[in-house]
Amino acid sequence: MKFNNPKGSIVAMITPFREDGGVNFDVLTNLLERQIAAGTDGILTLGTTGEYPTMSHEEDASVVAHTIKVVNGRVPVIVGSGSNCTATQMEKSVEYQNMGADALLLIAPYYNKANTEGMYRHFAETADKVKIPCLLYNVPGRTGCSIPVSVVEKLAKHPNICGIKEASGDMSYAMKIAHCVGPDFALYSGNDDITLPLMSIGGSGVISVFANVMPAMCRQIVADYAGGQQDQALANHLKYLKLMNDLFIEVNPIPVKSAMNMMGLNVGPMRLPLCEMSPEHQAILRATLEEAGLL
C-alpha cells in the first residue's frame, strides 16, 4: 500500500513475547487483526513501544516480515529502521524497503548525538538510499538531543522525507515546525495526551501508544476532530486522558504491556532492562482500566 501521509491514528505496536523470551507470532497476528478490525489507519512496528533495542537484527526482520504478511496491504506499515549509526540505519532501511515496508521511521542519533550538519546528513543520506517515504522521529527524552527546527525545515524539502513524529511534548517546538514546513509535510503527535493540541496547529493525527489498548476510541477521537466534531473529540480525549497518562506511569512500554496483559491480551513480559511494574503502579493502572470499562 502506498504511504500517502495518512491522517488519523497510527498504532505504535508493542512486540509480544513468550515467557521464554521469544517473539510470540501467534499473539502478534491477533493484535494486528484487532487493530485492523478497529479501523486503525496505519501500523508502526519496531518503534520505541516495540522494544526493538533489545531485539536482534534477525528478530527485527522476522517481526517486519510477519507484520507485512498479516497486514497484507490493508493499511500502511511503517517500520522503525533508525539507529545512532547512520550506516546501520541505511542498511536496515534498504532491507525493510525490499521486504515491502510502506514507509520508514528514522530516529535522531542517540548517545553519540551530532552537530547540525551531521544531524542533517544522518537523515538525508538515509532518505537518498531508499524509494519509500521516510518520517523523522523527534524524541529527545530518549535520544538526549532534539532535531533542530532549521534541520527539519531543510529536510522537509527532501523529496523522500514526508513528515515527522513529534514526541518532545513541547508545543512551542511543534508550532515552529508547523510554521516552517509545507502542507504536504505530515506532523504526527508522538504523545497521546497532546494529540488534539497538535492537530489544532495542522497535525495529521497521532502515532499512538494508547491505540494498543483502545484502538477504536483512539481513531474515533482523531477522526471526530478532523471531521469537524471537535467538541465530541475533546470530550472523549478528556475522558480517557488519565488512561493515556497512566500508560506512561513508568517507562514505555512497561505500562501498556501490563495493561494489555490485565485485559487478557497475553502479550507476555518485557525484556531486560525493562521489567514488571511496581505493585503500587500496577494498582493505579488497574484502577484506571476499571474506570475506563476495560476490566
Catalytic (active-site) positions:
137, 165
78, containing H or E segment: strand 77-80
**What is the distance between the alpha carbons of residues 143 and 91, in angstroms, rounded to a whole number?**
20
**What is the distance between the alpha carbons of residues 246 and 30, in angstroms, rounded to a whole number?**
24
Half-sphere exposure (Cβ direction) of 83: Cα atoms closer than 13 Å: 14
Q: Is 53 helix (H, G, I), strand (E, B) or coil?
A: helix
Helical spans, DSSP H, in the chain:
25-37, 57-71, 86-99, 116-129, 140-143, 149-155, 171-180, 195-199, 215-226, 230-239, 241-246, 254-262, 279-291
Q: Which residue bears the cell 485492523? A: 36
Q: Is 241 helix (H, G, I), strand (E, B) or coil?
A: helix
Q: How many C-beta atoms lie closer than 10 Å to residue 208's C-beta?
A: 30
**What is the distance between the alpha carbons of residues 87 and 89, in angstroms, rounded to a whole number?**
5
Q: Which of 215, 290, 295, 217 is nearest to 263 (CA)?
A: 295
10, containing H or E segment: strand 8-12
**What is the distance between the alpha carbons of residues 24 and 50, in angstroms, rounded to a whole number?**
13
